[in-house]
Amino acid sequence: MGVRYVERWVENDPDVDIVGDNMRANDREGQPLSRHKSLDMPTGWWSNLNPVKKRAILIALRTAVTVNLITGLVVFAGMIGPSPAAPPAAPLTSVSASVAPTAPVRQLLFDTLREQSVGTVRVTSVSAPALPTEPPEATVVVPAAAEPARPGWSPPVWFPEDARSDLWSLDGMDAEAEHTARPRGFRSKAAFVYDLDSGRVLLNYAADDRRPVASLTKLVSALALASDSADLEREVCLDRSMLPSWPGAGSRMKYGRCTTGWDLLGAALVRSDNGAALALPAVSDLPLAPFVDRMNEVSRDLGMSMSSFADPSGVMDENFSTARDMTRAVAAVAMHPVIAPVASAPYWDVEYSDGARKRMHSTNRLLQERGVEVLAAKTGYTDTARHCFTAVVRTRSGRTIAFTTLGARRGRHRWYDVADLIRWAEDQ
């Protein structure tokens, strides 16, 4: 390339100035060229490049060589391994080790070079993974320790000794169910079915969901009464303090008269009379609150871990339990020699001390079914709990089945579900 061509190129570009072998930007205010030097340049692609581009290429090459050198040193140091006494490495300020630095890295190094008078790069630290000198140790998978089993349950000491051995069958109710799906056409919100003969849980449909259980609570009240060995021949005079005060909670008992603990227990379990249930603490010679505490103790003794009770009648919505827990309770009632005859009676004749009598019929429609022997049963209803039922029955084939249904929307739906469950259990 001739001198004349170079001069024309320089004159036509007001933004550059040739000073020695370097080229720098003008102030773009039209300053004249200061001086020309070494205009007699060799030919070739390098000589055709703008000096600014030449400088950029040299910087890029220098940067690539520096980074590659650092990378090699880091990898070599990693292969050798750090000294045992070496302190832990400080956090690294990231210059990525790569063959060709990326654009952000190039810009970072370029800015550093512009600020320094020498053409070397000072790298604070470089991060690179250390290569292991030995193969990693084999990973040993240690299985998690199994949760301790629930402490072995045993029948409570307050249960009659001659029937205590039968109560061992309750321990099998914690087993896994053979069926958990909602039965076809089933309308209740929860159900639990247990074969007392074989110890098999046939059905667990939402059986561990806590729900208000209404008058099913009276079964636990009866067990609490029996656990204290209360004198059922004791005469209790009914007063207004025993009258249910909750809306919709009525009683057929005659207040101002006296009757025995037997008749109060019969009215509570057979007719589901709320006033009779609220008089049971007086039969035990206990105030209401300690009697409720005793109910909760009895439920724990039976393994009803998901239950809590607030009053003897079940009219309060704070009486919570599950289908599984209430099946435990009704099974214990069916095995109790004192309570079972009452809980399975079709009616109960209440006799007052003045000679007045009143027959109370059972709310349990299952007693009218042929081919099914009811060993113990209890109905329940409140606006919150809806229609509930729990029972122990002996089927046509002689199998003893305990079951509970909770939360049926209507009374007839409850009885449909009960009949379907008994038929279904026969086929299992």
Which tokens belong to 205? 């449909």
User: Diameter of the chain by CA atoms?
Assistant: 143
- What is the distance between the alpha carbons of residues 378 and 406, in angstroms, rounded to a whole number? 12
Length of the chain: 428
Q: Give the per-residue pLDDT at 58.
A: 80
Cα–Cα dist 185/193, whole Å: 16
Query: The tokens of 402 are what?
Result: 């305990």
The predicted structure's pLDDT at residue 413: 95
Q: What is the DSSP letter of 234?
A: -
Residues 158-209: pLDDT tens digits?
Answer: 999 999 999 999 999 999 999 999 988 999 999 999 999 999 999 999 999 9
Question: 405: which 2 tokens?
Answer: 């249904």
Rounded CA separation 345/357 (Å): 17
β-partners of residue 380 are 388
Strand-pairing partners, residue 386, are: 382
Residue ranges of the chain with pLDDT lower than 70? Answer: 1-49, 76-151, 247-248
Q: What DSSP string describes 5-32?
A: HHHHHHHT-TTEEEETTEEEE--SS-PP
Q: How far is CA 180 from the centre of its chain?
A: 18
The pLDDT assigned to 97 comes to 37
- Locate 90 and state its tokens: 């400080």
Looking at residue 385, its pLDDT comes to 96
Q: What is the 3-state secondary structure (H, E, C) of 336-381?
A: CCCCHHHHCCCEEEEECCCCCEEEEECCCHHHHCCCCEEEEEEEEE
- Say if CB 150 and CB 174 are below 8 A apart: yes
Residue type, 286: L
Q: Which amino acid is located at 302 in the chain?
A: L
Q: How far apart are the first and last CA of the chain?
A: 104
DSSP 91-153: PP------SS--HHHHHHHHHHHHHSSSS---------PPPPSSPPPPPP-PPPPPPPPPPPP
pLDDT at 65: 79
Half-sphere exposure of 174 (CA within 13 A, CB side): 12
Residues 6+ away with beta carbon under 8 Å from 273: 251, 252, 253, 267, 360
- Three-state DSSP class for residue 426: helix
Q: Domains in the chain and their CATH numbers?
A: 3-82+92-115 (no CATH), 161-426 (3.40.710.10)
Query: What pTM value is reported for the model?
Result: 0.65
Q: What is the pLDDT of residues 71-117, one digit of tens each?
A: 777 776 666 555 444 444 444 343 333 344 444 444 544 454 444 43
Q: What's residue 37's pLDDT?
A: 42
How many angstroms separate the CA atoms of 185 and 192, rounded?
16
Rounded CA separation 327/347 (Å): 23
Both tokens of residue 419?
Answer: 């009949």
Cβ atoms within 10 Å of 160's Cβ, excluding its own: 15
Distance from C-alpha of 269 to C-alpha of 376, rounded to nearest angstrom: 10
The angle formed by the CA atoms of residues 208, 212 and 218, to the nearest 5 degrees, is: 105
DSSP 229-240: T--TT-EEE--G
Instruction: For 66-80, write each residue's pLDDT tens digit.
Output: 877 887 777 766 665
Q: What is the pLDDT of residue 119?
A: 39
What is the C-alpha to C-alpha distance for residues 189 and 213, in angstroms, rounded to an integer? 12
What gap in Å lies between CA 323 and CA 336, rounded to an integer? 20
Q: Is 45 exposed, middle or buried (0-12, 13-18, 19+ CB in 10 A)?
A: exposed
**Is 75 exposed, middle or buried (CB count within 10 Å of its CB: 0-12, 13-18, 19+)?**
middle
Residue 404: Cβ within 10 Å count = 30
Nearest to 225 by CA among 305, 318, 342: 342
